[in-house]
Structure 1
Amino acid sequence: MTLSNHKLVTSDNAAYEITATVREAVAASGVTSGICVVFVPHTTAGVSISSFWDPKGLEDVHDDINRLVPTRIDFKHQFDTPQDAAGHVKSVLVGVSLTMIIDQGLPLLGHSQGIFFNEFDGPRSRQFFVKCTND
């Protein structure tokens, strides 16, 4: 088993492709057949798999998430800002972890799938973890 910690700096409300970083972490782990978990330890961010083919698709995803959970001042909880409160809800909806199969030393993804860190607050200094285990 290996665990790697990765850092990134985000702007507000955007998706960041982390596919290459996850692939590098899997390769560095030496695991050729097993499971890879990507975990985001933040309450206003998430991780997802989506198409990388057209970056506008990710903008559509974030636009719709913002339509579903708009920033507003009537949340029952207000930590730092109304955007932070909305970010908590968005993080719960999107999720903070992914589990992928490792096959032949690579995370198993579809032809046009990529792994994305989703910032729902920001700008922030963020981190995510990649853990790989053998079968």
Structure 2
Amino acid sequence: MKKIVIHPITRIEGHLKVEVVIDNGEVKDANISGTMFRGIEIMLKGRDPRDAVMITQRVCGVCPEPHAMASVQALEDCANLTDKIPDNGILLRNLILGTRTIADHILHFYILSGLDYIDPTKALEYF
């Protein structure tokens, strides 16, 4: 058996650790763990549940909207409001998350991983 550990995985907000156990070319076990503890869960204890919408946005510096949306949906689920969301509200949520997806793809390629694929010094040859 062979164990592969990749730590840290960078080019993401925060860091991850990946451990994979391979036996005869087959993955037998795989674990992924976040290694950056920020205590967001602890900050939410004892607070008004509505505070979660603002606090959870701080989980990630580059994508606050999905975290806010997840906390809003959790609150709606707790209050049994999931079937009472108007269609235009659902449409607005989808538009917000859709534009975030587009922005994340641009950010990921040009800022977080683009330099792994291109040689920026070659850009100087075009000027």
TM class, shorter-chain normalised? under 0.3
Provide TM-score, normalisation by structure 2: 0.25
Provide TM-score, normalisation by structure 1: 0.24
Greater helix proportion:
2
Structure label with greater radius of gyration: 2
Q: Quick one: higher RCO (CA 8 Å, sep 6+), 1 or 2?
A: 1
